[in-house]
Structure 1
Amino acid sequence: MLVIHENTGLNSHIEKVVERFAEEGFVAFALDALALQGGTPEDEDEARAAIGSLDSEENLNNYLASLDYLRHLPGSNGKVASVGFCWGGKVSGELAVADQNLDAAVIYYGKSPDSSQVPAINAPLLLHYGEQDERINATVPDFQAALEKHGKRFSLHMHKGAGHAFNNETRADRYDPNAAAESWKLTIAFLGSELA
């Protein structure tokens, strides 16, 4: 599976997520979206600025190529999923729109795809949002309505009391251990079913 980092780049949190997926028996890979710019800077503000300056089409193509790479790994069953957090959640949604062969997509507190793009989605979706994440949650009702209207397979979880980045254990101000544990359990079950 392809793990897509937050707007602070490839960091220890995402590396830990990749390790946890591997411990669960999945082949997991995280692309540094800033690799062509020398990699993710140590300074989070610099990383955010660099992520913000990426060409969106080139970025999406890099992630599509990563999915293709994972499909063709020796020993792979050819099934792939995207799992994205924050900015990466938005990218995971973009991949669900762009890759008609994606087997599953997980969005953790990422901006939803535009409702007009929903008909292009073939992959089943698992959607995790923090109840207190007002900015991101503002995009959810229209997205949910479009998913329902077009008969898409999805499971949406609004994690009670949690805010944005509730899964990021390196952010004491945002981390919610209950929401993180619940969402992880749901994610592992979903991916285990869809990628088998």
Structure 2
Amino acid sequence: MPSSHYETITTPDGTFDAFCAVPEATPAPAVLIFQEVFGVNDNIRGLAVQLAEAGYLALAPDVFWRIEPRFERKDESGLADGFAHVQQLDFDLVPGDLTATMAHALGMPECNGRVGGVGFCLGGTLAYLFAATARVDGRGPDAVVSYYGSAINGMLDLAPRVECPVLFHYGADDPYIPAEKIDEVEQAFAGRSDVVLHRYAAGHAFSNWDAPSLYDEKAARTAWPRTVDFLGEHLR
């Protein structure tokens, strides 16, 4: 069984926590998991453990640490709090936090030098930012998976800076990301054979089993094996 604990990540303006799940066999590839608006909660910790069970060193950084350290909410009742935190999130500082987490992962003895990222909702946007901006000693992540990142369309100018393979998951019935927005992402990466985009007959946050009105079991159970296979292809 994987073990878990919290790591302390150091940045130029402070430290923050990252939930860590360690696989039985190390060193292993690291995968950073980027949170939804609900924070690093049971859903994100559960996904970290699932990745550790699949043989990855999983790290979930607390991106709300400057606003409310260790913030977490469990379900739809926490949406208002989560959205309020997103409004306060400084997206100019976030890339540095993601890079610091990547550097920390690469420095852990349990990491074999390969690193990827997976993000959901807010984290889907952060995963895209991670791919475009995180560089440690000149190298970026080796693969990234983004689930329904609604702010990606406002950042498509960064697409040329995305050097690693990327897997995008979107719900075709997402009220926050209409079909034409998904088309824009697809068009931004047209011609990139290492970028894959899937659409599911589901809404927003379909992977979050902690939010019953959002969770779509069929879509989630299709997307997750694709995620693990994609990471396996590029991190193993």
What is the TM-score normalised by the length of structure 2?
0.77
1:163-182 alignment, distance < 5 Å:
163-182=203-222
2:187 corresponds to 1:145: yes
1:40 counterpart residue number: 71
Identify the structure with the greater strand proportion.
2
Task: Give a deviation string over 1:106-139, Cα, whole Å, max 9, x none.
Answer: 0001122533221111010011111101422442
CA distance in 2, matches of 1:6, 1:141: 23
In 2, are the aligned partners of 1:33 and 1:51 still within 8 Å (CA)?
no
CA distance in 2, matches of 1:69, 1:152: 30
In 1, are the aligned partners of 2:34 and 2:60 still within 8 Å (CA)?
yes
Residue number among 25, 29, 37 corresponding to 1:7 in the alignment:
37
CA distance in 1, matches of 2:61, 2:189: 28
2:195 counterpart residue number: 154
2:89 counterpart residue number: 54
CA distance in 2, matches of 1:186, 1:41: 27
CA distance in 2, matches of 1:26, 1:129: 24
1:31 counterpart residue number: 61
Moved over 4 A (4+): none
**TM-fit CA distance, 1:41:** 4.9
**TM-fit CA distance, 1:68:** 1.2
2:236 corresponds to 1:184: no
In 2, are the aligned partners of 1:122 and 1:152 still within 8 Å (CA)?
no
Q: Aligned residue pairs: how many?
A: 194
Identify the structure with the greater helix proportion.
1
**TM-fit CA distance, 1:48:** 2.5
Match of 1:193, SS state, is helix
1:105 counterpart residue number: 144
What is the TM-score normalised by the length of structure 1?
0.92
**TM-fit CA distance, 1:75:** 3.6
CA RMSD across the alignment:
1.7
Task: Give a deviation string over 1:6-51, Cα, whole Å, max 9, x none.
Answer: 1121111111111111111110010111233332055722233123
Q: Given residue 32 of structure 1, which amino acid in structure 2 is its aligned partner?
A: D
In 2, are the aligned partners of 1:9 and 1:51 still within 8 Å (CA)?
no
CA distance in 1, matches of 2:39, 2:197: 26
Note the residue ranges of structure 1 that are not aligned, 5 or more in a row. Answer: none
**TM-fit CA distance, 1:90:** 0.4
In 1, are the aligned partners of 2:40 and 2:72 still within 8 Å (CA)?
no
Task: Give a deviation string over 1:124-180, Cα, whole Å, max 9, x none.
Answer: 00111111014224422122112115x362111101x21101000011111111111
CA distance in 2, matches of 1:4, 1:18: 10
1:72 counterpart residue number: 107
The percentage of aligned residue pairs carrying the same residue is 30
2:52 corresponds to 1:22: yes
